[in-house]
Amino acid sequence: MTDKQLDLENARAYAQGEIFLLRQAGDGFDALVYNTTGFGPCPAEEFGAIDTEQLAQDTVSDRVWKNPRRFWMMDALTAAIAGEPRKLGGLMFNCLADMKMPADFDPQRDQSSMAYRPTKIHRNSAYKFLSGRPVFMLRSPDGITWVMQTFTDHVDHGLTESALPAMAERLTLPDGWTYKARTLDRDLTITTSGLANIVPDGLANMYQGCVDGVNNFDPWD
């Protein structure tokens, strides 16, 4: 972890791309997570053109996984920079996290293949969702609220920010899971120091869990 941090205002709907440099760790993978945030909104064509097999050779990685281009859903974010910026496939990226990939992770599939299975990621970050703005949430059977941090149109090509309030109609939720949209009546902050709990839905949108005191209040209630 460096002593530098990334600050982004007006983050909502900001396009970003993510590259995971994977190294074999037993039967699974450890990953360094690189994100285009901080170098301007991620250009779709240039990001889509990145050749992961060539990039694995260039970075001496066991594998490279390209997370589908997605859009931040908080209003402002701060994130510690975990390593030096790098040019990967022609675009500049910040190193924002490292993580152990889930045991059944398949680099040939997107995050919808891990839907509704929580995992953890090492990062230091602060997300701010402003009063008067909508948040989009999952509630798991154990009563944990999960707040959408990014959405993507990679799986559902018709998914836009304006469609998120009614997204429950597009999701096939497991028993005990619920989706809800709510307009905040006060600012919500989610601050992570070390480990963040995250979970994807069936459309590969990503949520952060309100656990271990990271949130200033539970926005579901």
Distance, in Å, from the CA atom of 13 to the CA atom of 149, rounded to the nearest integer, reads 10
Residue 148 lies in a domain: yes
| Beta bridge partners of residue 100, listed in sequence order | 30
Residue 3 lies in a domain: no
Residue 132 lies in a domain: yes
Query: What pLDDT is stored for residue 62 in this prediction?
Result: 94
Number of separate domains in the chain = 1
> pLDDT under 70 in the chain at which residues?
1-2
Residue 7 lies in a domain: no
Distance, in Å, from the CA atom of 19 to the CA atom of 64, rounded to the nearest integer, reads 7
pTM for this predicted structure: 0.90
Query: What pLDDT is stored for residue 47 in this prediction?
Result: 96
Residue 161 lies in a domain: yes
Domain that residue 155 falls in:
14-103+120-209
Query: What pLDDT is stored for residue 110 in this prediction?
Result: 75
Query: What pLDDT is stored for residue 2 in this prediction?
Result: 56
Residue 56 lies in a domain: yes
Residue 108 lies in a domain: no
Residue 5 lies in a domain: no
Query: What pLDDT is stored for residue 185 in this prediction?
Result: 98
